[in-house]
Amino acid sequence: MSDEEVLRSHRFTKGAEPEFVTHLITCGPVERTWEAGRPILAAGDTADRLHLIVEGDVAIGLQAPGGPPAVLQTLGPGDVLGWSWLMPPYRWAFDATAVTAVRAITLDATRLRAAMAEDPVFGHALLARLLIAITDRLQATRLQLLDLYGPRR
Amino acid sequence: MAPVADVGITTREVIGFTRETADSITLTIEDPEARGFTPGQFYMLYSFGVGESAISISGDPARPRAIEHTIRSVGMVTAALSALRPGDRVGVRGPFGIGWPVDVATGGDVIVVAGGIGLAPLRPVVSHVIGARHRFGHVSVVVGARAPSELLFRDEIHEWRGRFDLDVRVTVDSADASWMGPIGVVTRLIPGVEVDPAKTIAMVCGPEVMMRFAAAELERLGVSPDRIFVSLERNMQCAAGVCGHCQMGPFFVCKDGPVFPYSQVAPYMGVRET
């Protein structure tokens, strides 16, 4: 499949208008792969790309001083990785590491921000889709914090 | 049709014991009459001199002489039941309740979503499906646990994952680096499941908050609330819909459930009990 076909079949673009995907394509989609164990993003680095995971599992975590990295969540095929490129100072807040071999379509953040500013309809559509992913992740984190399977309090 | 409950208490012999996790065990109790059960039904188990508790059946419906119950020790009665060993005797009443809609699901796709001890009442569904695999379409089993060490039926899940005709996904809320699977709440696995919503029956069991969020994810996939079934847990005492302890709105969980269509009980879930 071409990068365009992969983009069109990704969960992030499910149900989107064809123009939305066409717009994404102008933002330089590039397929990238990582071997298991390789870092994908590092906290503090410049947040320069949006990643749409196509295959494999990605661990989101942070390096804890004096200990092994703490993994907070894992992401899988169909998930969005990284939205720190949306807001200044455009730096990743967490580390992301490939748990298994990972394949993703990545888009250039500078071009995405320019396209959003240039075409508010596209900008709104992209933000709406990112907001769904962000909300899902926030809800999942809240459920994790509830420790639902733990002892009743 | 679900087997008719025996309201009177009888004593039975414990014939098997398996430790599942630090606080959960599985007891096998002999049923010489082999009356059978519907997946999702429960028994009232009585620890002599301590008390009685509603415990769902976690075993294979194709083994009606050996009724399995997976018990998490959370109070006096469940602690006493967890202390039983083969050769001990236990009081039983049952089986009670309306179970999972395995007949309705036949011919279509099935999604099983289990969180924590919620896998216990769903294990008979998976056993039933495996035993009649040709009668079902795409089958997904989605399991969540607090940590790898708290995952029930690990060997069996490993076997399920080895089958080409089951889509089995397991996640834990937290884990160290030795865990190579997904980390996160079970609801996050649902969007990745392949379904034909119109012919899918979803069966969900776990903490009620988890079930509400799981139902929301299933609805986002297109599964209608009347095709999503949940198993509820309330303070069941008589198990015959008489005492009223387990009343939830117009329903008695012991008699009208414990398995309900989500469309029927959604308004009552999340309502604070007084």
Q: What is the CATH number of the domain that holds A126?
A: 2.60.120.10
pLDDT at position B274 over 70: no
pLDDT of B272 higher than 80: no
Instruction: Say yes or no to pLDDT of B4 above 60.
Output: no
Count of domains for chain A? 1
Contact state of B213 with A146 under an 8 Å Cβ cutoff:
no
Within an 8 Å CB–CB cutoff, is residue A145 touching chain B?
no
Question: Residue B64: what pLDDT?
Answer: 93
Q: What is the mean pLDDT of chain B?
A: 91
Distance from CA of A124 to the nearest CA of B (A): 21
Candidate from A53-57, A129-133, B68-72, B270-274 with smallest mean pLDDT: B270-274
Interface probe, candidates B188, B193, B194, B212, chain A, greatest A C-beta count within 10 A: B188
Q: What is the pLDDT of residue A84?
A: 96
Q: Which residue of B has its CA nearest to A150?
A: B146
- What string of DSSP letters covers B72-105? E--SHHHHHHHT--TT-EEEEEEEESB---HHHH
Q: Give residue B222's pLDDT.
A: 94
Question: Between these two residues, B32 and B237, which has the higher pLDDT value?
Answer: B32
Q: Could you tell me how many CB contacts below 8 A there are between chain A and chain B?
A: 65
Q: How confident is the model at residue B63 (pLDDT cuts 50, 70, 90)?
A: very high
**Minimal Cα distance from A146: which residue of B?**
B209
Token representation of residue A131: 């907001």
What integer pLDDT is reported at residue B143 of this predicted model? 97
- Each residue's pLDDT, cut to its tens digit, for chain A (153 residues) gives 787 888 989 999 999 998 999 999 999 899 999 999 999 999 999 999 999 999 999 999 988 777 777 889 999 999 999 999 999 999 999 999 999 999 999 999 999 999 999 999 999 999 999 999 999 999 999 999 988 887 765
Choose among B71, B106, B110: nearest CA to B223: B110
pLDDT at B178 over 90: no
> Is 90 exceeded by the pLDDT of residue B255?
no
* B160 pLDDT more than 80: yes
Q: List C-alpha distances in Å: A126 to A26, B122, B145.
A: 14, 39, 34
Query: Is A36 among the domain residues?
Result: yes
From chain A, the residues in CB contact with B146 under 8 A are 147, 149-150
Tell if the CB–CB gap between A148 and B192 is shorter than 8 Å: no
Domain-located, residue A151? no
Listing DSSP states for A19-61 in one string gives HHHHHHHTT--EEEEE-TT-EEE-TTSB--EEEEEEES-EEEE
**What per-residue confidence (pLDDT) applies to B69?**
97
Smallest Cβ distance to B187: which of A99, A143, A147?
A143
CA distances from B246 to A52, A72, A151 (A): 47, 37, 21
Domain residue limits at A58: 3-109+119-146
* Contact call for B183 and A68, based on CB within 8 A: no
DSSP classification of residue B272 = P
pLDDT in tens, B123-139: 999 999 999 999 999 99
Q: Per this entry, what is the length of chain A?
A: 153
- Min Cα distance B191 → chain A (Å) is 9
Residue A67 domain-assigned (yes or no): yes
Subunit contact B209:A143, Cβ cutoff 8 A: yes
Structural domain contains residue A128: yes
- Cα B106 to chain centroid distance, Å, stands at 19
Q: pLDDT-based confidence at B169, cuts 50/70/90?
A: very high
pLDDT above 70: residue B198: yes
Q: What is the pLDDT of residue B233?
A: 82
Q: For B56-73, what is the mean pLDDT?
A: 95
Map B150-196 to HEC letters: HCCCHHHHHHHHCCCCCEEEEEECCCCCCCCCCECCHHHHHHHCCCC
- B10-14, B164-168, B193-197: least confident range: B193-197
Residue A133 lies in a domain: yes
Query: Is pLDDT larger for residue A107 or for residue B240?
Result: A107
Domain assignment present for A114: no
On whether residue A153 sits in a domain, the answer given is no
Q: Is residue A152 part of a domain?
A: no
